[in-house]
Structure 1
Amino acid sequence: MTRPLRVVAVPASHPYVRRVTADDAITLHDDPRPDGAGPGVWWPPVALDAAWIRAHADEADLLHIHFGTESFDVAHLVDAVDAAHAVGWPVVQTVHDLDHPQLADADQGRYVAQLDALLPRVDAVLTLTEGAAAEIARRWGVEAVVVPHPRLLGSDFTADTAPIGFAADGRVVGLHLKDLRPGVDGPGATTALVAALDLLRARGHAVTGEVRLHRAVRDSAARDEVRRLCAASDAVVLVEHDRLDDTALAAGLARLDACVLPYRHGTHSGWLELCWDLGVPVVAPDTGHYADQHDDPTVASARFAADGSALADALDGVLRAGARPGTTHRRDIITARSAERDRVDRVVVRAHLAVYRAALARPRARPAPSDPTIQPARRPAPPAERTPA
Structure 2
Amino acid sequence: MHFGASAPAICEFRALSHARKTPIGTTSAPIRVASIPSSHPYIHAITDPHRVALLPDPPVPGAPAEQWWPPVALTAPWLSENAAEYDLLHVHFGLESFSPDELRAGLDAARRAGRPVVFTVHDLDNPQIVDQEPYRALLDVIVPFADRLVTLTPSAAAEIERRWGRASLVLAHPTLLDEAAAPVREDTAPVREDDPVLADDAVRVGIHLRDLRPNIDAESAVRAAVDAVRMRDGAGRPVEVEVLLNERVRDERVAERVLAAASGQTAVRVRRTPYLDDAEVEAWLGGLDLFVLPYRHGTHSGWVELCYDLGVRVAGTDVGHIRAQHPSEFHVVDLDDPRTLADAVTWAGDARHPSSPVADRLVSRRTERSEERGAVRDAHARLYRDAIAGVSA
Give the TM-score normalised by structure 2: 0.86
Report the Cα distance in structure 1 between the residues aligned to 2:233 and 2:263, rounded to whole angstroms: 18
Q: Are 1:237 and 2:259 counterparts?
A: no
The answer (yes or no) to whether the contact 1:6–1:62 under 8 Å persists in 2 is: yes
Secondary structure, aligned partner of 1:183: coil
Report the equivalent of 2:245.
213
Match of 2:371 among 337, 343, 368: 343
The answer (yes or no) to whether the contact 1:154–1:246 under 8 Å persists in 2 is: no
Report the equivalent of 1:320.
350
Q: Are 1:67 and 2:90 counterparts?
A: no
* Distance change in 2, residues 1:322/1:12 (3 Å): farther
Match of 1:274 among 293, 300, 306: 306
Q: Are 1:13 and 2:62 counterparts?
A: no
For structure 1, the 5+ residue unaligned runs are 366-389
Quick one: which amino acid aligns to residue 300 of structure 1? H
The answer (yes or no) to whether the contact 1:54–1:84 under 8 Å persists in 2 is: yes
Q: Are 1:223 and 2:245 counterparts?
A: no
Report the equivalent of 1:310.
340
Report the Cα distance in structure 2 between the residues aligned to 1:184 and 1:29, rounded to whole angstroms: 33
Secondary structure, aligned partner of 2:72: coil
The answer (yes or no) to whether the contact 2:304–2:326 under 8 Å persists in 1 is: no
Question: Offset of 1:63 from its aligned partner?
Answer: 0.2
Report the equivalent of 1:145.
169
Question: Offset of 1:275 from its aligned partner?
Answer: 1.3
Match of 1:191 among 217, 220, 223: 223
Once the two structures are overlaid, the 10-residue window that deviates more, 165-174 or 181-190, is 165-174
Report the Cα distance in structure 2 between the residues aligned to 1:96 and 1:71, rounded to whole angstroms: 16
Cα deviations by residue, 1:317-362 (Å, 9 ceiling, x for unpaired): 23323469xx982222221111111111111111111211111111
Match of 2:112 among 72, 76, 86: 86
Match of 1:102 among 95, 106, 128: 128
Secondary structure, aligned partner of 2:211: coil
Secondary structure, aligned partner of 1:58: helix
Report the Cα distance in structure 1 between the residues aligned to 2:187 and 2:90, rounded to whole angstroms: 38
Cα deviations by residue, 1:212-268 (Å, 9 ceiling, x for unpaired): 101100011211110010104333011111011222211111111111012111011
Secondary structure, aligned partner of 2:366: helix
The answer (yes or no) to whether the contact 1:198–1:235 under 8 Å persists in 2 is: no
Question: Offset of 1:300 from its aligned partner?
Answer: 2.0
Quick one: which amino acid aligns to residue 304 of structure 1? L
Cα deviations by residue, 1:253-307 (Å, 9 ceiling, x for unpaired): 11111110121110111111111111111111111111110142x32222221x3
Match of 1:29 among 55, 60, 64: 55
* Count of residues paired in the alignment: 357
Cα deviations by residue, 1:62-107 (Å, 9 ceiling, x for unpaired): 0000011111111111111111011011000001111111112xx2
* Distance change in 2, residues 1:312/1:364 (3 Å): farther
* Distance change in 2, residues 1:217/1:315 (3 Å): same
Report the Cα distance in structure 2 between the residues aligned to 1:328 and 1:34, rounded to whole angstroms: 50
* Distance change in 2, residues 1:292/1:213 (3 Å): same
The answer (yes or no) to whether the contact 2:89–2:118 under 8 Å persists in 1 is: yes
The answer (yes or no) to whether the contact 2:48–2:378 under 8 Å persists in 1 is: no
Report the Cα distance in structure 2 between the residues aligned to 1:82 and 1:49, rounded to whole angstroms: 10
Question: Offset of 1:147 from its aligned partner?
Answer: 0.6
Q: Are 1:119 and 2:143 counterparts?
A: yes
The answer (yes or no) to whether the contact 1:286–1:302 under 8 Å persists in 2 is: yes
Question: Offset of 1:166 from its aligned partner?
Answer: 3.1
**Correspondence 1:44-55 to 2 at 5 A:** 44-55=70-81
Report the equivalent of 2:188.
166
Quick one: which amino acid aligns to residue 58 of structure 1? A
Quick one: which amino acid aligns to residue 270 of structure 1? G
The answer (yes or no) to whether the contact 2:206–2:292 under 8 Å persists in 1 is: yes
Secondary structure, aligned partner of 1:93: strand
Secondary structure, aligned partner of 1:213: strand
Cα deviations by residue, 1:15-57 (Å, 9 ceiling, x for unpaired): 1001101241111101111012223211111101010000000
Report the equivalent of 2:280.
248
Match of 2:382 among 342, 354, 359: 354
* Distance change in 2, residues 1:362/1:193 (3 Å): same
Quick one: which amino acid aligns to residue 345 of structure 1? R
RMSD after superposition:
1.9
Report the equivalent of 1:383.
none
Question: Offset of 1:314 from its aligned partner?
Answer: 2.7
Report the Cα distance in structure 2 between the residues aligned to 1:78 and 1:323, rounded to whole angstroms: 54
Question: Offset of 1:156 from its aligned partner?
Answer: 5.8
Quick one: which amino acid aligns to residue 146 of structure 1? V
Report the equivalent of 1:370.
none
Give the % identical residues.
43
Quick one: which amino acid aligns to residue 39 of structure 2? S
* Distance change in 2, residues 1:125/1:150 (3 Å): same
Report the equivalent of 2:195.
none
Report the Cα distance in structure 2 between the residues aligned to 1:194 and 1:293, rounded to whole angstroms: 28
Quick one: which amino acid aligns to residue 79 of structure 1? A
Give the TM-score normalised by structure 1: 0.87
Report the Cα distance in structure 2 between the residues aligned to 1:158 and 1:147, rounded to whole angstroms: 26
